[in-house]
Amino acid sequence: MNCENRKRPFGLCVFIALPFLLTINTGWGKPPLKHSSVLEVGSAQALKTLREALAVADSGDVLRVHPGTYPETGLVVSKPLTLRGIGKPVLDAHGLGALLVITANDVHVTGFVFKNVGISYVRDQAALGFVNARDVRIDSNRFDHNFFSIYGARSSGAFIENNDITGLYGHEVANGNGIHLWQCDSMTVRGNHVRGHRDGIYLEFTGNSDVTNNLAEGNIRYGLHFMFSNGSRYAANVFRNNGSGVAVMYSNKIRMEDNRFERNWGSAAYGLLCKGIEDSEVRRNVFEENTVGIFQEGLSRVHFEGNAFIRNGWAIRILADCDDNLYEGNRFAGNTFDVSYNSSMHNSNVFRGNSWDKYRGYDLNHDGRGDIPYRPVELQSSLMDHYPEALALMRSHFLTLLNLLEKQFPVLAPKSLEDDSPLFPPKAGS
Amino acid sequence: MGQIFRYCFWDLLRSRFILAYFGFFLAGSMGIFRFSPSASAAFGALLSAVILLAPLCCQIYGTLYFYQSRGFHELMFAQPIGRIPLCLGQFLALSAALGLAFLMAVGIPMAAYGFSAGGDVRLLMVFVGGGLLLHFIFLALAFLVAVSVEDRLRGFSTSLVIWLTLVFGYDALVMALVMKFSDYPLETPVLAAMLLNPVDLERVLVLMHLDSAALLGYTGASFQKFFGTVLGTWVSLGALLMWIIAPLLLFLRKLTRKDW
């Protein structure tokens, strides 16, 4: 009681003082308009170049940059400013170093075209970087032919939205990442389109972040690459046709929802490569036409629910160091192999209530569940896990024969690896 | 020989077996092309049928045909015509007839459903060319069996054993060896093993051109490296041709030395 009485006036104080504190310190709030002014930049304006404008601008100013090409490198934004491109002005690095680096909080960059940042094997030079910055906002820009496009480090709370990013294509050694975030926190990456980079979107040590509604296609290595980034969520993204798909490694409490993983096809390509993931959720994703839908190594307590695996080589490859994962209500259709598992001894993963197009059971009591269990690990796929050279015998009639035998007398896959309440796949045509 | 070929060929085209063979393959490939989601899937399914059934049919019918020509042979041997032109003419006629049946049974649906192998001419060539060569190989083996084994029952069982060995047994052996020597790098030995069996060779050659090649991983990559080269193409063609020439030469040798 006593305690609360003392606290309340203090909280009230902070509440009232907050806008004043903020206006004084950062110029973040709208009210102090007398401080913030609009600077026009352009060949026909008083300020000819962005460099001049950045030098004279005060905190809180808005720089309106008019159409034209601005050959620049090494610009630094060290004050909270708004950089607004009018009619898509072009910042062109002409193959030289980095274009623009943000070192202040609350900077907003919108409506620009960033071009031609050169390749460096020494520095990770980017078209637009931000370092030690809070609440940066980067939206509706276009990035063309840059080594790295957006590069954030040791920052938090940034919004990276609706940017259109095209990389260098070419070889992965001479190519940077589209959106690269390192040691950041609480980032939002939304609605971007990334292609032709090494990794489309790359997060390392970047926790509590949100990656949603992005499209990453045709990147040389991974569409999304995600390491040591706990508590992040990625949802409703499309990852298509990337060199090796999407890689998620060494993170826990991750949520992956409603994404599409399409056409990651090649001898070392995965829809989703998961390694060292714990306590996470993978729901309602679609994996279509990948060599391997999900490759799983060292996964614990991950819940796979309501995903669809369609026409993949392997829908799921599980290494035996995965434990206590749950696969429920997923749909498997048209995959060459549904599940492979590389041990015949131990298994603590649970499959239940999935629908399998290869299931040939019956439902006598009409509860919608098959009465005999489905065993998703075919002899064929376990053999090939143990002896990869045996893949040369794929589609041979000898293996077909073996498969038939294994169905009757299982020996290779652990007994516990079965779905004891399989759903019936939807009827063809429905 | 030309006359024998012509006579036998036209005779064969009217035989019920060839018609049934043609009809069966036609229906099968029609169905496959009609219901397959993609050209790759269609060729995959068709491949399974071809490497299983073509050897079986050729082996059985080739043996049967030679045994049934016994009367014809005895009649013709009295005429001024050598054994070799006579039997070689028969072999060519049978090869041409079965080959034609196969070609049309596969070709008509492809034309009808506009499957140009997804634009992949090499796949088409490998599939059709390899399929044809498989027919010739197993007919040659069948003639060899028929001329070497006098007793028909034993002849048929020998034919079946050859078919079983090449389609199932050989792969089982390869599998066993792969398991036994799994500690060693096996890409090259497995590749060699695939080259030595015409059924496996045809399967692998077609597989390399299908989507499923990506599933082969590292092994597939080394295969691709071999079969992708000009040398690889010639070596595999040579291997298939050896499987025709060797049994045929043996057959002709046995034929000339046989005491009827």
pLDDT above 90 coverage of chain A, percent: 62
* Percent of chain B surpassing pLDDT 70: 98
**A308-A312-A314 Cα angle (round to 5):** 100
**Paired strand residues for A188:** A159, A210
Is the distance from CB of A336 to CB of B212 less than 8 angstroms? yes
Q: Does B214 touch chain A (CB under 8 A)?
A: yes
pLDDT category at B122 given cuts 50, 70, 90 is: confident
pLDDT of B178 reads 92
Q: Choosing among A396, A399, A404, A412, which should be mutated to test the B contact, i.e. which has the most B CBs within 10 A? A: A396
Chain B hits for A334, CB-CB cut-off 8 Å, are 37
Q: Is B51 on the interface with A (CB under 8 A)?
A: yes
Among A118-122, A171-175, B178-182, where is mean pLDDT lowest?
A: A171-175
Question: What integer is the mean pLDDT of A37-51?
Answer: 90
Cβ distance B203 to A395 less than 8 Å, yes or no, reads yes
Predicted local distance difference test score (pLDDT) of residue A429: 42
Asked whether the predicted pLDDT for residue A10 surpasses 60, the reply is no
B53: nearest CA partner in chain A: A397
Top residue of B171, B224, B225 to mutate, by most chain A CBs within 10 Å, is B171
Q: What is the rounded average pLDDT of the residues A74-101?
A: 93
CB contact under 8 A, B223 and A269: no
Contacts of B186 in chain A (CB under 8 A): 389
The answer to whether B77 faces chain A, any CB pair under 8 Å, is no
Q: How far is B82 from chain A (nearest CA, A)?
A: 41
Q: Which residue has the higher pLDDT, A383 or B61?
A: B61
Grouping H, G, I as helix, E, B as strand and the rest as coil, residue B175 is helix
User: What is the Cα Rg of chain A in Å?
Assistant: 27
Alpha helix (H) residue ranges in B113-216? 121-148, 152-164, 170-180, 187-196, 198-207
- pLDDT class for A412, splitting at 50, 70, 90? low
CB contact under 8 A, B214 and A336: no
Q: Identify which has the larger pLDDT, B228 or A166.
A: A166
Alpha-carbon gap: B219 to the closest alpha carbon of chain A (Å): 6
Among A313, A395, A398, beta carbon nearest to B175: A398
CB A280 within 8 A of CB A255: yes
Burial class from Cβ neighbours inside 10 Å (0-12, 13-18, 19+) for residue B34 reads exposed
Contact A336/B194, CB-based, under 8 Å?
no
For residue B138, the number of C-alpha atoms closer than 13 Å in the C-beta half-sphere is 34
Q: Supply the pLDDT for residue B115.
A: 63
Partner A contacted by B175 (CB < 8 A) = yes
**Least CB–CB distance from A388: residue in B203, B214, B217:** B217
- The pLDDT value recorded for residue A426 is 65
Mutation target to probe the A interface, by most A beta carbons within 10 A, among B175, B182, B211 is: B175
- Tell me which residue in A390, A394, A397 faces B212 most closely, judged by beta carbons: A394
Whether residues A392 and B204 touch (CB distance < 8 A) is answered with yes
State the DSSP H helix or E strand holding residue A384, giving kind and residue range, or none if neither.
helix A379-386
Q: What are phi and psi of A164, to 5 degrees?
A: -115, 110
Minimum-distance CB partner of A393 among B175, B182, B191? B175
Q: Encode pLDDT of B28-68 as tens digits.
A: 999 988 887 777 788 888 999 999 999 999 999 999 999 99
Report CA-CA distances (Å) from B25 to A12, A405, B57: 86, 28, 11
Q: Is the pLDDT of residue A17 over 60?
A: no
Give chain A's contact residues with B (Cβ, < 8 Å): 265-269, 291, 311, 313-314, 334, 336, 383, 386-401
Structure confidence at residue B118 (pLDDT): 58
For residue B154, the distance in angstroms to the closest alpha carbon of chain A comes to 25
- The larger pLDDT score, comparing residue A72 to residue B143, is at B143
A223 has pLDDT over 60: yes
Of B44, B193, B194, the CB nearest to A395: B44
What's the confidence (pLDDT) of residue B182? 87
- pLDDT of A15 reads 53
Query: What percentage of residues in chain A have a pLDDT greater than 70?
Result: 90
Closest residue, chain B, to A263 (C-alpha)? B211
The DSSP code for B168 is I
The chain A residue lying nearest B199, using CA atoms, is: A396
CA angle A39, A41, A44 (to 5 degrees): 125
pLDDT score of A201: 96
A-chain CB neighbours of B216 within 8 Å are 267, 391-392, 394
**Would the pLDDT of A28 be above 90?**
no
- State yes or no: pLDDT of B221 exceeds 90: no
CB atoms A395 and B207 under 8 Å: yes
What confidence score (pLDDT) does residue A7 get? 46
Give mean pLDDT, residues B86-99.
95
Q: Look at residue A4 and tell me whether its pLDDT is greater than 60.
A: no
Instruction: Find which of A270, A338, A389, A412 to mutate to test the B interface (most B CBs within 10 Å of its CB).
Output: A389
What residue segments make up the domains of chain A, in order of their start?
38-408
Q: What is the pLDDT of residues A110-152, one digit of tens each?
A: 999 999 999 988 888 999 999 999 999 999 999 999 999 999 9
Task: Calculate how close chain A gets to B163, using CA atoms only, in Å.
Answer: 12
Looking at residue A196, its pLDDT comes to: 94
Residue of B53, B182, B216 to mutate when probing chain A, most A C-beta within 10 A: B216
**pLDDT score for A5:** 45
Contacts of A143 (CB under 8 A, 6+ apart): A113, A114, A115, A127, A128, A149, A150, A163, A164, A165, A166, A178
- Answer with the residue of higher pLDDT: B2 or B253: B253
**Quick one: pLDDT at residue B225?**
83
What pLDDT digit, counting tens, does each position of A248-262 carry?
999 999 999 999 999
pLDDT on residue B230: 86
pLDDT at A13: 47
- Inter-chain contact A391–B47, Cβ cutoff 8 Å? no
Task: Classify residue B107 as exposed, middle or buried by CB count within 10 Å of its CB (0-12, 13-18, 19+).
Answer: middle
A224-227 and A246-252: which strand pairing?
parallel
> Which residue from B174, B179, B217 is facing A267, i.e. has the nearest CB?
B217
- What ipTM, to 2 d.p.? 0.86
Could you give the maximum distance between any two Cα atoms of chain A, in Å?
Answer: 84
Q: Is it the case that residue B208 has pLDDT exceeding 90?
A: no
Q: Which of A266, A269, A398 sits opposite B168 (nearest CB)?
A: A398
* CATH number at A38-408: 2.160.20
> What residue of A is the nearest CA neighbor of B49?
A397
Which of A197-211, A323-337, A360-374, B158-172 is predicted with the least confidence, judged by mean pLDDT? A360-374
Q: Which residue of B has its CA nearest to A380?
A: B175
Averaged pLDDT for residues B192-218: 87
Q: What distance in Å separates the CA atoms of residue A230 and residue A267, rounded to the nearest whole number? A: 30
Chain A with chain B: Cβ pairs closer than 8 A? 87
Helices A397-408 and B170-180 pack at an angle, to 10 degrees, of: 70
Instruction: Judge: B207–A314 Cβ closer than 8 Å, yes or no.
Output: no
Q: What is the pLDDT at residue A430? A: 39
A399 contacts on B by Cβ (under 8 Å): 171, 175
Q: Give chain A's mean pLDDT.
A: 87
